[in-house]
Amino acid sequence: MLSRILCSSVFQKVIMAVTGLSLIIFVITHLSGNITLYFPDGTPFNKYADFLASLGWLLYAAEIGLVATFLLHIATAIQLKMSNSKARPVGYKVYQSKGGPSKANLSSRFMIVSGIALLGFLVLHIWQFKYGPGIEQGYVVDIDGKQVRDLHRLVIETFQNPLYVAIYVISMVLLGFHLRHGFWSAFQSLGMRNPALHSALYKLAFVLAVLISLGFLGIPVWIYLNSTGVAS
């Protein structure tokens, strides 16, 4: 009985919803820290990065939690996708949405695509910044008499490359698409039955997705434009 519940289609979507909402909270936190990259001065951002690094075991604990959440989200998604593919072994020759109340759109139909792309982005992002050059490679700055990693310089340098800017912009657009369906869908999966909330949350999801997406993708664009002198 217990295993039946845990393996059920409903419970798997509960896992997706809970992990997804947790990741949205992480993304919002991440964005609020990264807002400092819009400042011309690198100090606030480096201070913020140093603060995170100084958390020590707390950071590790948070990172383990985050990784676990990601893995659970991804593993469940893959499992759901596989069982969904099995549910229709022969596909349609023609398939089109009926519109109206349907929420079928690029966002909802291609969650797995945007999700996998974001996973690829995540690897690149972590490799570039978390495991990128640090104090030993000379990316160092003095803040209030303390030698800290100059992550700000790394960010600025990275986004001199238009290829990276493009990758980041595309990825953040995909994040927007992922959240546009994901945020609202999570509440539906958790059994939010109030019809008024239902449509309110669907609209809120759009606003949230646009804000988060623009907030993030603005950073590389801003840095790139600043460095090429288009923006003053």
Partner 1 sequence: MNLTLQVWRQENATKEGRFVTYKADDISPDMSFLEMLDLVNERLIKAGERPIEFESDCREGICGSCGCVINGQAHGPLRGVTTCQLHMRSFKDGDTIVIEPFRAKAFPIIKDLVVDRGSFDRIIQSGGYVTVKTGPQPDGNATPIGKDVADKAMDAAACIGCGACVAACPNASAALFTSAKVAHMSYLPQGQVEAHKRVVNMIARHDAEGFGNCTNIGECHAACPKEISIQHIAIMKKEYICAAANYEPEIQRSEGAI
- The site for partner 1 (CB under 8 A) is made up of 1-2, 4-5, 7-14, 80, 83-84, 86-104, 108-109, 111, 181, 184-185, 188-193, 195, 198
Nearer to partner 1, 36 or 189 (CB): 189
Nearer to partner 1, 13 or 152 (CB): 13
**Alpha helices for the chain (secondary structure H):** 2-7, 9-34, 43-53, 57-87, 106-109, 111-125, 151-158, 162-189, 195-228
Query: What single DSSP character describes residue 138?
Result: T
- We find the least distance from the C-beta atom of residue 204 to partner 1, in angstroms, to be 15
**Structure tokens of 12?**
């798997």
- Given a contact cutoff of 8 angstroms between Cβ atoms, the answer to whether 173 and 214 are in contact is no
Nearer to partner 1, 40 or 91 (CB): 91
Taking the C-alpha atoms of residue 88 and residue 109, their distance in angstroms, rounded to an integer, is 15
| Residue carrying structure tokens 């690029």 | 106
Strand, coil or helix: what is 193? coil
Nearer to partner 1, 73 or 152 (CB): 73
- We find the least distance from the C-beta atom of residue 144 to partner 1, in angstroms, to be 49
- We find the least distance from the C-beta atom of residue 101 to partner 1, in angstroms, to be 5
- We find the least distance from the C-beta atom of residue 186 to partner 1, in angstroms, to be 9
